[in-house]
Chain A
Amino acid sequence: ETGVTQTPRHLVMGMTNKKSLKCEQHLGHNAMYWYKQSAKKPLELMFVYNFKEQTENNSVPSRFSPECPNSSHLFLHLHTLQPEDSALYLCASSQAENTEAFFGQGTRLTVV
């Protein structure tokens, strides 16, 4: 079992759909992150949660809504997405914000 688990691995959704991405970490870490990885672009940090509190929101559109119910789980709720939102969404966790992050395998999202 990997330390950080993301579900689903692949998701195809229409622009009017509502879906959620789930991330779970089994490492006892205190910080969790959502990243977006688009083709030929550097990783973009979307959200940071430290001890369940959101500490960073990198100007992400409101159609992406994070939720962190406890330090082991992180969700990304999606609604009315655009085709340009198609990307690999990676979840990560770290012991603290200044230590190395461990990543899940990502959710490959396609918006049609």
Chain B
Amino acid sequence: AQKITQTQPGMFVQEKEAVTLDCTYDTSDQSYGLFWYKQPSSGEMIFLIYQGSYDEQNATEGRYSLNFQKARKSANLVISASQLGDSAMYFCAMREFRDSNYQLIWGAGTKLIIKP
């Protein structure tokens, strides 16, 4: 069963608008972590933001914020005032502790294109 679901394979957004990228997850653990990464066409995976399952406040990093709704098991990424340089693939990932190791489970990604 898929543990990380990103329902939007692709999105087009007008420059300067806010954009929300969806991510839902499935886990029975009480302790877990949620990450968002950006992957531009150059290939490098860039860490954006992290939310721990026990964090009561939504994480924010500059123009990025994470809309964490624990009961719904969703961790949507919100990008405010989008810029052309935000065009990239965006991946949601969940960290679980399994078989004595931490493992990152990845979603399939959302391709975001910012239009001028």
Q: From DSSP, what is the main secondary structure of chain A's interface residues?
A: loop
User: Which A residues between 62 and 112 are near B, CB-CB below 8 angstroms?
Assistant: 88, 90, 92, 97-98, 100-106, 108
Interface residue total, chain B, C-beta cutoff 8 A? 24
Q: Which of B18-26, B73-81, B100-108 contacts A (4 or more CB under 8 A)?
A: B100-108
Report the separation of the CA atoms of residues A2 and B43 in the bound assembly, to the nearest whole angstrom.
13
Q: Which residue of chain A has its CB nearest to the CB of B102? A: A97
A-B contacts counted at CB < 8 A amount to: 49
Instruction: Give the residues in chain A near B4, CB-CB below 8 Å.
Output: 42
Given A90-B45, A103-B46, A105-B43, A97 contacting B108 (CB threshold 8 A): no
**CB contact between B47 and one of A56, A101, A108 (< 8 Å): that residue:** A101
Given A97-B102, A98-B33, A100-B35, A42 contacting B107 (CB threshold 8 A): yes
Report the separation of the CA atoms of residues A98 and B93 in the bound assembly, to the nearest whole angstrom.
13
B103–A88 CB distance below 8 A: no
- Residues on B lying within 8 angstroms of A by beta carbon are 4, 33, 35, 37, 42-47, 50, 91, 93, 95, 97, 101-109
- Residues on A lying within 8 angstroms of B by beta carbon are 2, 40-43, 45, 48, 55-56, 88, 90, 92, 97-98, 100-106, 108
